[in-house]
């Protein structure tokens, strides 16, 4: 049975407390798994069923050497939805995601569309020496194939050399053998594709006829305006892997982040982020070591004002409000975001989500690092929430309580004096531990300083940031 947008909102409201806030657990987002990691229940084939199988690590795997590489589609049809999944491409790999497509026909034309999955920085598709494409723009990874090109301008943008993770050619796809996270939103005629945190497609195809007269590839796309159909993977003869495939069905008026609890403060707490702008926030810059509280505190008011102007310029360039959340782009020139006010003892809530596999971030408390945020499932196998920069006192989380990449998490953080406790998704992961002064190991933590959302070179999002002074 389909859940309408209004019904989903009602469920979300029921999951929150009567004052709309606050459970220590982030409300259930309503996603259902499409792949169980054990078998191909819920899927059907168009072509040889031997090519798709579940490998020893629980990944959905396509091996074209196993005779045939046809389509693997969902048993049932879908209309409006948000789809989240992870995938891993081989060198010069090629596949596609069919949207609202019929069984047994070419999804790129008879489905609403094919969203391209392609190692578009590979040598088969990009000449790195000549810096020249071998593709049409509508063939880039993430493109609505033949119709809408994806964004592909990722040339040396990432901070701290993290461009080494990307395949090249301006693509937002990671190198062959690395896992990618993708979120696809299809509502009515609108299609959005977020690849590894970056919005590479945001298009409405309602005014495109699809009869070959106004499509970039000059071909007919008779299924472009399909209202419903199957979803699935389209073969193309390359060994590809998928995991953590899940879907949320939504109504025709769905808006991202429309939960009634979004940005509504719990009783006794102050809202730090309003879902619209940077009120209550300021930038942080590393210029002249002004990320160091000791340096800031010693500076004259005039110097602090000068450096704050620089920091705020960097903030406006690299921090954005996206889907009612604070989004950091991870690009060069960007750095952390700080509260406009300094805090002594406090309790706070903050929701966050990583939008790339092996993503990394954190929260600075009273100007000092940090309550750790990272991909606990794929990187260190240590949970988020630990006081990472501690040397003498415990620095690791007591448990892994992190949700999947792309899903929202909730911290509750309590700081009294030097002591910090952290709950992640309702689980106590730091129990009254001393936070050490990273900037001066011989001194206790600063009694009053700003709180920061950390830049660590990866895109990520924050929302529902609330604080109560103690």
Q: What is the CATH number of the domain that holds 332?
A: 2.60.120.560
Task: Write down the residue that tokens 């340096």 correspond to.
Answer: 295
pLDDT in tens, the chain (470 residues): 333 333 333 334 333 433 445 899 998 999 999 999 999 999 997 665 678 999 999 999 998 877 656 789 999 999 999 999 999 999 999 999 999 999 989 999 999 999 999 999 999 999 999 999 999 999 999 999 999 999 999 999 999 889 999 999 999 999 999 999 999 999 999 999 999 999 999 999 999 999 999 999 999 999 999 999 999 999 888 999 999 999 999 999 998 866 656 778 999 999 999 999 999 999 999 999 999 999 999 999 999 999 999 999 999 999 999 999 999 999 999 999 999 999 999 999 999 999 999 999 999 999 999 999 999 999 889 999 999 999 999 999 999 999 999 999 999 999 999 999 999 999 999 999 999 999 999 999 999 999 999 999 999 999 999 999 99
Judge whether 23 lies within some domain.
no
Residues 120 and 245 placed together within one structural domain of the fold: yes
Residues 173 and 71 placed together within one structural domain of the fold: yes
Q: Are 121 and 173 in contact (CB under 8 A)?
A: yes
Judge whether 309 lies within some domain.
yes
Q: Are 335 and 441 in contact (CB under 8 A)?
A: no
Residues 216 and 338 placed together within one structural domain of the fold: no
pTM: 0.93
Q: Are 231 and 167 in contact (CB under 8 A)?
A: no
Judge whether 69 lies within some domain.
yes
* Phi, psi for 212 (deg, rounded to 5): 95, -10
Residues 286 and 168 placed together within one structural domain of the fold: no
Residues 219 and 291 placed together within one structural domain of the fold: no
Cα(456)–Cα(449) distance, integer angstroms:
20
Judge whether 15 lies within some domain.
no
For residue 412, what are the domain limits?
270-469
Q: Which residue, 249, 281, 312, sits at the end of a domain?
A: 249
**How many structural domains comprise the chain?**
2
List C-alpha distances in Å: 236 to 176, 183, 233: 16, 22, 9
Cis amide prior to 52 (ω within 30 degrees): no
Residues 232 and 353 placed together within one structural domain of the fold: no
Residues 289 and 428 placed together within one structural domain of the fold: yes
Q: Which residue, 249, 279, 311, sits at the end of a domain?
A: 249
Judge whether 294 lies within some domain.
yes
* Phi, psi for 402 (deg, rounded to 5): -70, 140
Residues 310 and 199 placed together within one structural domain of the fold: no
């Amino acid at each position: 049975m389909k859940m309408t947008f209004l019904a989903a909102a009602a469920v979300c409201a029921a999951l929150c407390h009567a004052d709309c806030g606050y459970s220590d657990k982030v409300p259930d987002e309503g996603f259902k798994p499409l792949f169980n990691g054990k078998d191909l229940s819920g899927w059907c084939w168009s072509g040889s069923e031997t090519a798709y199988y579940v490998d020893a690590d629980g990944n959905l795997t396509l091996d074209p050497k196993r005779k045939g590489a046809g389509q693997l589609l969902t048993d049932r049809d879908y209309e409006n939805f948000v789809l989240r999944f992870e995938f891993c491409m081989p060198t010069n790999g090629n596949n596609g995601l069919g949207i609202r497509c019929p069984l047994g026909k070419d999804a790129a034309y008879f489905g609403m569309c094919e969203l391209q999955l392609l190692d578009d920085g590979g040598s088969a598709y990009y000449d790195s020496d000549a810096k020249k494409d071998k593709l049409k723009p509508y063939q880039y990874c993430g493109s609505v194939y033949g119709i809408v090109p994806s964004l592909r301008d990722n040339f040396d943008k990432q901070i701290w050399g993290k461009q080494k993770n990307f395949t090249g050619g301006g693509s937002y796809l990671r190198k062959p053998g690395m896992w990618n996270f993708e979120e696809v939103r299809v509502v009515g005629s609108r299609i959005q594709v977020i690849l590894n945190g970056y919005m590479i497609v945001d298009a409405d195809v309602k005014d495109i006829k699809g009869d070959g007269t106004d499509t970039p590839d000059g071909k007919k796309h008779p299924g472009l305006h399909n209202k419903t159909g199957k979803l699935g993977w389209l073969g193309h003869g390359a060994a590809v892997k998928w995991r953590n495939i899940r879907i949320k069905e939504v109504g025709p008026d769905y808006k991202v982040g429309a939960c009634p609890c979004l940005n509504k403060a719990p009783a006794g707490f102050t809202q730090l982020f309003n879902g619209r702008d940077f009120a209550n926030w300021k930038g942080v810059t590393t210029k002249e070591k002004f990320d160091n509280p000791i340096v800031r505190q010693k500076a004259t008011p005039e110097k602090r004002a000068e450096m704050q102007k620089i920091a705020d310029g960097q903030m406006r360039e690299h921090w954005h409000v996206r889907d009612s959340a604070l989004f950091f782009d991870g690009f060069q020139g960007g750095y952390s975001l700080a509260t406009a006010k300094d805090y002594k003892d406090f309790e706070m809530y903050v929701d966050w989500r990583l939008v790339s596999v092996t993503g990394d971030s954190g929260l600075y408390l009273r100007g000092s690092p940090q309550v750790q945020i990272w991909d606990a499932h794929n990187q260190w196998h240590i949970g988020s929430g630990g006081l990472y920069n501690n040397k003498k006192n415990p620095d690791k989380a007591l448990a892994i309580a992190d949700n999947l990449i792309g899903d929202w998490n909730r911290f509750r953080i309590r700081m009294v004096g030097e002591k910090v406790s952290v709950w992640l998704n309702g689980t106590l992961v730091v129990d009254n531990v001393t936070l050490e002064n990273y900037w001066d190991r011989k001194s206790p933590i600063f009694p009053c300083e700003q709180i920061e959302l950390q830049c660590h070179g990866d895109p990520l999002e924050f929302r529902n940031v609330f604080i109560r002074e103690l």
